[in-house]
Structure 1
């Protein structure tokens, strides 16, 4: 990355975070290239590239005569990670919305995997579930196995659109949750029941059962995440006193 591109990225990151913190109102005229160049002591070319990056994120719209701030809900999915990183702990409602959406996509992926997978592929998914089962109760150790399983299940499902959306969501969400120290954990008994149902779905080639198992898993994750965030917030406020 050239020095000019690095400067552009730094400017774009600063301005992106200011927009996400609502320092600019939706529809408000954004500072001009000249004003931003003066503020950041950068060339107008570097500022222009930074503004282009913000437009690609959907946070501003560049029009003749200047740029205007867009509403956050008009932005691209790429702002999810930065949006979660604005505070010391993630917004509980945003996390719940993510898990609800991601759960629906993974549930669809499980059904597609059963519908499209051959016996060898479904057996491989069963074997991967067995490996996850051995680590039930160890959150850290399970994560690589879960990622491997979800990636392979997506390959078997062969739905490119869902996979691309999941890749983007997963990369932003998991990274931020781990960075913020939020670890939603499901009780070992509940996880074992989920894995057994999922394994049975693959073995009996029952797509609805596999989909239901994944949906139930994410429903429990939503509850666990809310509890983990609540605990994180309580600990944060206790330390601040």
Structure 2
């Protein structure tokens, strides 16, 4: 077997064990020799796996071995893995993803209205008008929200907002929404928030549009968190699945 697939498998297992709390922040991971024996591979594959963990920010390679970092020192990519530790995403991770998204969306909308061209403004307004329709499928709703977020981020002219949006969307928001495409939930309050945003955005009322965007993200956060909390409760799984310390 080639070392690259082996190193990816090893790093994935160690990554999930760190996120589940088997190895706590500040603890040393097993030595290269012990890991090589555990996975029945040569030490080169283990060394590559540890480098991948270091790239994720989950561990720091030091003289004598690798030590686990606090979770807050990890990269944004780790959130995607936190959402896939079990069959259904951790409700608290979902909550925190949308908590972060709400602030980014609100700022992005305000900057977009200050900087967007007339063409960009019209295209985004058209997206919001379609989102106001009541007969949308969950899949189409998701497509429109993704396109709305992308266009707002680009029109904001802020590179950091673009990068944060892309990091949250790829493998994170998509992962959450895939779980909800077939779920029949009451989204009447969300629809009202979208209508408020559409009206304020089309009128170029920056503060009102920013507030509506924030309220929309908060509503989505609360709705999705409740869905995943119910799933977690019905499965009987442990609610404390993350390595917070």
What is the TM-score normalised by the length of structure 1?
A: 0.88
Paired residue for 1:187?
187
SS of the aligned residue for 1:225 comes to: helix
Change (3 A) 1:79 1:125: same
Whole-angstrom distance in 2 between the partners of 1:81 and 1:112: 27
Is contact 1:88–1:180 with CA below 8 Å preserved after alignment?
A: no
Paired residue for 2:14?
15
Is contact 1:20–1:83 with CA below 8 Å preserved after alignment?
A: yes
Paired residue for 1:72?
71
Deviations along 1:35-80, one digit per CA (max 9) or x if unpaired, are 2122222222221111001011111111112111222222222111
Change (3 A) 1:184 1:162: farther
Paired residue for 2:223?
224
| Deviation of the 1:184 alpha carbon | 8.9
Change (3 A) 1:36 1:184: farther
Change (3 A) 1:169 1:184: farther
| Deviation of the 1:203 alpha carbon | 2.3
Is contact 1:184–1:224 with CA below 8 Å preserved after alignment?
A: no
Whole-angstrom distance in 2 between the partners of 1:234 and 1:49: 38
Is contact 1:26–1:71 with CA below 8 Å preserved after alignment?
A: yes
Paired residue for 2:242?
none
Gaps of 5+ in 1: none
Whole-angstrom distance in 2 between the partners of 1:62 and 1:14: 17
Whole-angstrom distance in 1 between the partners of 2:21 and 2:187: 38
**What RMSD, in angstroms, separates the aligned Cα atoms of the two structures?**
2.3
Whole-angstrom distance in 1 between the partners of 2:177 and 2:119: 34
Which stretch of the first structure deviates more once superposed, 204-213 or 86-95? 86-95
Whole-angstrom distance in 1 between the partners of 2:73 and 2:138: 35
1:58 is the counterpart of 2:57: yes
| Deviation of the 1:172 alpha carbon | 3.0
Is contact 2:150–2:165 with CA below 8 Å preserved after alignment?
A: no
Is contact 1:154–1:163 with CA below 8 Å preserved after alignment?
A: yes
Whole-angstrom distance in 2 between the partners of 1:157 and 1:184: 33
Whole-angstrom distance in 1 between the partners of 2:19 and 2:191: 40
Whole-angstrom distance in 2 between the partners of 1:75 and 1:60: 8
Gaps of 5+ in 2: 238-245
Q: How many residues align structurally?
A: 236
SS of the aligned residue for 2:21 comes to: coil
| Deviation of the 1:179 alpha carbon | 5.2
Change (3 A) 1:53 1:208: same
Paired residue for 1:29?
28
Whole-angstrom distance in 1 between the partners of 2:218 and 2:152: 19
Paired residue for 1:168?
167
| Deviation of the 1:115 alpha carbon | 0.6
Whole-angstrom distance in 2 between the partners of 1:91 and 1:40: 28
Is contact 1:96–1:222 with CA below 8 Å preserved after alignment?
A: yes
Whole-angstrom distance in 2 between the partners of 1:22 and 1:144: 35
- Residues 76-91 of structure 1 correspond to what in structure 2 (within 5 A)? 76-91=75-90
Change (3 A) 1:180 1:118: closer
Q: Which has the higher contact order (CA 8 A, sep 6+)?
A: 2
